[in-house]
Structure 1
Amino acid sequence: MELTLSEANGITASAIAQAKAIGVKVAVAVCGRDGRLVAFSKMDGAGHMTFRRAIGKAIASSISGQSSEVDPGDAATPGSQTVGGEGMAAFHAPGGLALIRDGALIGAIGVHGDATPDQDVACATAGVVELRRLPAALKAHST
């Protein structure tokens, strides 16, 4: 069960919409369950290094299957530690959430910006909510 680019773009758009609603500038990364980037957006005016931490939070959540502040140590998901060897480090701070479909980890979202940790989490949560909404929306468009 793979996370599609269409889904990842919808998740990213929802997180950015939430950031706009609460008045913060963020970067948003969505990766697959292996920790590799699927979609990324950085709002105009977001800090120069927000991209690294957004990606790092998405990687951290894909490694643990939980929120990004969790460091699973040796219990990391299979294959996800390869990303670290490729030069993309996990960042264990609030703002990353696992993306789960039918009980299976399919990826993660990471958000970082000129926001508080709670605001980063609120934006990431908007992305998770979008993933839950997508199957119904896709089904409605196919009939």
Structure 2
Amino acid sequence: MNAHVSMVDDRDLTLEEATAIVRRAVTEACRLGITVSVAVCGPQGRLVAFSKMDGAGCMSARGAIGKAVASAISGEPSEIMPPPGDDLYCSVVEGEGTAAFHERGGIPLRRDGTLIGAIGVYGEASREQDRACATVGAATYG
């Protein structure tokens, strides 16, 4: 018997939600005339959805995932670096093989005050534009 048992909690970030978040961030990047990579991960830094726009730099994928990881594991925007001595500062944290990247462009996602993941955006434009795309992507959950 091969019964499928779902391990998804109804409070978890779903693929459908993560894909919509990515889509909104990419739409904002198009509006700004820039190319980016966008990653959405769950609260443990595991990738749920990802998109690399045509023309986005080859290393933008790692940057987007790294920003999402940094934001998801800390519950803070990715540019906030934990202080020395903090458990997150002292540990080597990786999600999907990419180290946490503490630079502007990652935003935590919360549902009813509970951390459900994060979005990370990385492109070849400014970090302000990365954050703008992430903010639009996260608008439902930010």
TM above 0.5, one fold? yes
Give the aligned partner of residue 141 of structure 1.
none
TM-score (norm 2): 0.84
Secondary structure class of the residue paired with 2:38: strand
Q: Is it true that 1:14 corresponds to 2:24 in the alignment?
A: yes
Cα offsets for 1:51-84 (capped at 9, x unmatched): 00000000000111010011235354xxxx6852
Give the aligned partner of residue 106 of structure 2.
96
Which amino acid counterpart does residue 48 of structure 1 have in structure 2? C
Moved over 4 A (4+): none
- Corresponding pairs, count: 128
Partners of 2:29 and 2:20 lie apart in 1 by: 14
The answer (yes or no) to whether the contact 2:26–2:38 under 8 Å persists in 1 is yes
The answer (yes or no) to whether the contact 1:7–1:131 under 8 Å persists in 2 is no
- Cα pair distance change 1:86/1:40, threshold 3 Å: closer
The answer (yes or no) to whether the contact 2:69–2:95 under 8 Å persists in 1 is no
- How big is the alpha-carbon RMSD for the aligned residues of Structure 1 and Structure 2? 1.8
Q: Is it true that 1:108 corresponds to 2:118 in the alignment?
A: yes
Give the aligned partner of residue 119 of structure 1.
129
Which amino acid counterpart does residue 40 of structure 2 have in structure 1? V
Partners of 2:95 and 2:54 lie apart in 1 by: 30
| The one of 31, 39, 43 aligned to 2:41 | 31
Query: 1 or 2, which has the higher helix percentage?
Result: 1
Cα offsets for 1:86-132 (capped at 9, x unmatched): 63200000000000110010000000012101100000001111447
Secondary structure class of the residue paired with 2:71: helix
The answer (yes or no) to whether the contact 1:19–1:123 under 8 Å persists in 2 is yes
Structure 2's unaligned 5+ residue stretches are 1-10
- Cα pair distance change 1:67/1:38, threshold 3 Å: same
The answer (yes or no) to whether the contact 1:97–1:109 under 8 Å persists in 2 is yes
Secondary structure class of the residue paired with 1:129: coil
- Cα pair distance change 1:25/1:6, threshold 3 Å: same
Give the aligned partner of residue 8 of structure 2.
none
Secondary structure class of the residue paired with 1:38: strand
Give the aligned partner of residue 71 of structure 2.
61
Aligned-pair identity in percent equals: 58
Partners of 1:27 and 1:42 lie apart in 2 by: 4
